[in-house]
A and B are shown apart, each in its own frame.
Chain A
Amino acid sequence: MSTRDTDHQLELMQGTLDLLILQTVALGRAHGHAIARSIERRSGEALQVGHGSLYPALQRLLKLGLITAEDGISENNRKARFYRLTAKGRKQLFTEASKWQKFSNAIARILAPVAEENP
């Protein structure tokens, strides 16, 4: 069965998620759970990320060489995999973030809150 149509939606989602992840690991190395928690918190719980969908995004970023992974011990003494931004990742984060900023400003200007017709 084809996943033609759902693919488009996913891609948009992935792009966004990728950016959020890069932003998170830019602050220092972090394991999967910490990244998820951080995105949740910083977006004010508005962006509900299914924690599971974080991992395909991490794999993609690894493959693109934007982040690296290493084994380490978590704050509560668990063996975990830590992710860290690469130089290439930092550059990517900068371009993508500015692009996003422009895009978001443009959208914001078009979608200025309008009074509802039927209150």
Chain B
Amino acid sequence: MFGWNNRRNQLLQEFETHIEIETLENIESGMSPDEARQAARKKFGNVLLAAEESRAIWGGLWLERMLQDVRYAVRSLRGAPAYTATLVCTLVLGLGSVTIMLAIIESILIRPVALPHSEQLVQIYSEDGPDGFSASSHALSYKVIDELQRSTHSFADVSGYNTMVRPVTASDGTRITVLTEVTAEFFPMLGVKAKLGRLIGPADAKAGVVVVSDEFWRERLHADPRAVGSAIKVSGQLRTVIGVMPAGFHAPQGTGESVVYLPVSFHSSGEDDFMIESALTIARLKLGVSGQQALADAGNVFAHADRKSGERYRRLAMRSYRDLVVGDMERPLLTLLGGVGVLLLIACANAANLQIGRAASRMPEMKTRSALGASFGRLLQQLITESILVSLFGAALGGALSYAAIEAVRHAYGKQFPRFDELSVQPVVLVCTGVLAVLVGVIASIAPMLNIRRQTNARFHSKSVTWKSRLPGILVAFQVALTCVLLVISGLFVRTLQSLQNVKLGFDPRGVTTLVLMPEQQNQDPELSREIETRLLRRFETLPGVQSVTMQTEVPFSSYNMVLDGTTEVSGRAFHQGDSAFYSMVSANFVRTSGIRLLKGRNFVADEDASSAMEVLVNEAFLKKYIGGQEPLGASVRFHRNPGETDADLPFIQPMTIIGVVENEIQGADLGAPYQPMVYLDYMQLPKGSLLGAVFSMTAQYAVRSPLAPSVLASELRAAVTKEAPTMVEMNLRSMEDGIAKSLGQRRLALRLVAGFGVIALVLSAVGIYGVLAYSVALRRREIGIRMALGSTRGKAAGLVMRQAGRMALLGLIPGVAGAWAAGYAVRSFLYGVKTFDPAAVGVAGGTLVLVFAAAACLPAMRAVQVDPVETLRAE
């Protein structure tokens, strides 16, 4: 190190010369060569000592001392393999879990937001949304976005985008791909540069150009450096690739999927093809402008008198870009981080306890060294070095463990959850773990150090006094409390999952397969799409083994749902601001196919005359909210026209008559979500030329009920599509039950993680209580022996140990249960169908803890039983 070896060699060479010269002189003065050499050596003295002392002068002695401490620590740890192994295991579990969690958080919460000055980026969205007709409750119209850009002063840039999936054809064929339509300001606002070519700018508004993500470039364009200028087909239209994004750019979704970006194509009205509010908005705040100011500024846009009245009531809201991208993941992940933090605390307490025990057994060594003149500081350095060394070793193994675990999680869940395909352990995470390890090492060695200080300062050698400390017991109680919290929370999650699995779906998923199709040409005439889709419906119905088929714009657990959220007026009830319902287009066989229960009234009748009044089904939630105790059948429902709006602003003006009431069914993909008022419309009855028809024919979702095996049915359906409607592209085909299982995946993963932490905590606590008891028995051998000699029984000796264990467990269980209550309250938003304080979960957790502890206490108790009173007395 630092050329020390060279200098040392030079020095030794110099010594050699010195001795040689001395030898020559000795020979000259008449000695025999052997004698001469020996005398010269004697005169020189200890060669190595001289070298060491010279070496000390060159500096870096602290380093040398540290290396010495490390060598010493390694030797002494090797001498106590059981202690070392226990300590390392404890730390590997603690630090490994923390590393896993930190890696997940870094990959999912921090990395996706990594854009230049991302703290200035905000999403502007409409807060109370559904007074009007929008594709998403957060969406704004491009017109509004344009106005925000032009007539506000708080934003450096305002951009809109809209994400959809469309068939994209490259040289490797046609595949469904994520498409993001962006306004010209989008890329300049984010402040990113293309890896190849250029990005979409103002000049590209009407051009047939695309920019592709790095993933798309790698997977679909074979990472061709000359890809810029080549052409791909998006929804059947040829477009030129003008740029490739750099790797790791995942705006705005934050997912690492293949994405194609293209400029929004505006109609003359200033809106896009959807012609409803469909764009999400991201803006960059000007330097020094606060969120509040910007929001007030943006809100003024709606104050103009020429707005539609629906918009005049609009309130805008703003959230950080970070919340937009990672908002849904942030709380669960930080909660889990809290869980591993607890785990690390348990591991740290364990390490402290183990070290207290070891320090006690090394007390004679410490006393001797202190007596020989070692300063307290020097002993401290030695102990902390040893502690940190073990900690870092634990961190290294823990890091390796987390690497393996992260790989496993990525393989298992990468395709299932957004951003999980991005999981990896970055160096920065390992650095964090290293720092934590050093901290743990220092903290865990404080308690033993204090003991040593007390002992070495004691005036007399009190070898035969049973020395007792409360600290280990308190640390174990602390572990018990924390373990109890983790176990109870796992219990709550198990109960939540059970409740969710038993949730009333409201329909019968067995034997139902869903198929999602989309026309290859995005701007295909809606009437044509509708015709093709209907033809396919008829074709599916005739397939052998198929019982019934329906089209549904809203299928439970599908990610291709399109549902209209519309202001709704019910006859005989005064309209209130905010009255709205979801509208799902279905076909005549909906009730039969879905298995939804018809509670009242009748089904749709196929091939009804479109000219008669439109007939709709409503769900229980609708009934509860809008009809109350009145007779629902025959009641009339219509879209509400806000003052200032014309009929043209409504999807259609015809009144709808309720002909039946169906059970609530799951909406969307969250089993725990509350039911919303829902209106089912037969899409065949939609007025011709209605905007709804155009929007909803962009994708077609079929549900097919059949007793056939899913794979057989799937190939039948695919064959029918290929033959009947070759221009339709398959987006998704799966059985309904698969979809349900997938929707539980995220909760199941959370459960697995928390339960895993609970089990690790249990193991750590068991090790902790075992260590403390074993150490205590070793210290109390004399006491136990004397007790026995005085007539105590073996049973009582065992009782002594078990009582001590019981005390520690009890001392921990009481705050543990209280802590579990508080923690249950903290995670209440993740719970479903179970109270924040669940006696059953607490009971099971407590019982498990007591059992495990009893088992852990058994071994030390046995050892206490085996104490031989004769041996003790002989030693006295």
Contact = CB atoms under 8 A, between A and B. Distances in A.
Contacts of B53: 53, 55-56
B18 A32 contact: yes
A65 to B, nearest CB: 13
Contacts of A63: 57-59
A74 B17 contact: yes
A90 interface: no
B17 A52 contact: no
A5 to B, nearest CB: 6
B375 interface: yes
A47 to B, nearest CB: 14
A76 B24 contact: yes
B49 interface: yes
A50 interface: yes
A22 to B, nearest CB: 16
Interface residues of B, number: 30
A109 interface: no
A4 B375 contact: yes
B374 A1 contact: yes
A52 B372 contact: no
29 contacts: A2-B373, A2-B374, A2-B378, A5-B373, A31-B18, A32-B14, A32-B17, A32-B18, A33-B18, A33-B22, A50-B43, A50-B45, A51-B43, A52-B44, A52-B45, A52-B50, A53-B50, A55-B50, A56-B57, A58-B54, A59-B11, A63-B57, A63-B58, A63-B59, A74-B17, A76-B24, A78-B20, A78-B21, A81-B10
B369 interface: yes
Nearest to B14: A81
A52 B21 contact: no
B268 interface: no
Interface in A16-75: 31-33, 36, 50-53, 55-56, 58-60, 63, 74
Interface of A: 1-2, 4-5, 31-33, 36, 50-53, 55-56, 58-60, 63, 74, 76, 78-81
B814 interface: no
B14 A56 contact: no
Given A50-B44, A80-B17, A56 B374 contact: no
Contact of B45 (A2, A32, A53, A78): A53
Nearest to A63: B57
A60 B59 CA distance: 10
A96 to B, nearest CB: 18
A36 to B, nearest CB: 8
A52 B47 contact: yes
Given A32-B14, A63-B57, A2 B21 contact: no
Given A2-B373, A4-B373, A4-B375, A59 B58 contact: yes
A1 B57 contact: no
B15 interface: yes
Contacts of B170: none
B369 A1 contact: yes
Nearest to B378: A2
A81 B56 CA distance: 20
Given A2-B373, A59-B11, A80-B21, 6 more contacts: A1-B373, A2-B378, A51-B44, A55-B15, A55-B54, A58-B54
B46 interface: yes
Contact of A33 (B21, B45, B46, B59): B21
Contacts of A81: 10, 14, 17
